Amino acid sequence: MAAITKRIELFYDVISPYTWYAFEVLMRYKKHWNVSVELKPFLLGAVTKGSGNTPPGFVPNKAMYMMKDLPRLSRYFNVPLKMLSDPATSMFERGSLVPSRFLTATDLLYPDYLEGVTRAVWMELWNKDEDITSVPVLQRAGKAGGLSDEQLKKVLDHITEQVTKDRLKAYSNLALEYGAFGSPTIVAHTGNEPMMFFGSDRFPVLANEIGEKWLGPDPDNQKSQL
């Protein structure tokens, strides 16, 4: 097997539904592309503010578009996303600070579980419509992601530690340095200058730029659309 010389950083916030699609695609392609994928939770609110961007939910036409777009993308990407019953409360009032710190603490303490725990948190919010700022919900996601009771307690205790806050801030600032303005922010490294891509719809271009093949959103599914 050839040595992996290309890597991809995914800067993400689970509050973003489009990012779930990008996350799953990158996880599927880890075995199809000669790349390493680094998951880097960040805080979307900080990136949005730092870049001078406006959340799409605050723009009426974008919000209406998302209501139609997200379900069809769920079918296209084969990701079980469902619409929230109260998007304003889930996305803007509760926000993502707590789950972002939860994932950051997981990454710091048990990085091998970050993928599974991240997926489980997305399931709680964007499939089950649960409050991911709630400790019981995060506990359920942590267990679904493979953490033991002892590991989960350590992660929850680590949420308020300064090292967790500093890591989350550092990843948010690093994303801004790359030019990020939203989630997902994907940064590819091939030995040249880093290449930043935004969104869940740039994978054919990403594949072309890093010299890999795009086989559709679900390469292991024969029905995947190319």
Residue range 15-47, pLDDT digits in tens: 999 999 999 999 999 999 999 999 999 999 999
Q: What is the mean pLDDT of residues 37-65?
A: 92
> How confident is residue 62, by pLDDT bands cut at 50, 70 and 90?
confident
pLDDT at 57: 75
- Average pLDDT of span 166-187: 98
Q: Name the token pair of 206.
A: 């990403």
The contacts of residue 222 (CB under 8 Å, 6+ apart) are none
Q: What is the pLDDT of residue 225?
A: 45
6-210: CATH number: 3.40.30.10
Average pLDDT value over all residues in the chain? 94
For residues 85-102, average pLDDT = 95
Which tokens belong to 7?
């890597």
Q: Which residue has the tokens 């079980």?
A: 80
Instruction: Say if pTM beats, i.e. exceeds, 0.75.
Output: yes
Range with lowest mean pLDDT among 46-60, 61-75, 119-133: 46-60
What pLDDT score does 121 carry?
A: 98
Burial of 184 (0-12, 13-18, 19+ CB in 10 A): buried
Which of 83, 94, 109 minimizes the C-alpha distance to 164?
109
Domains of the chain, residue spans:
6-210
pLDDT of residue 226: 39
Average pLDDT estimate for 140-161: 98
pLDDT of residue 4: 74
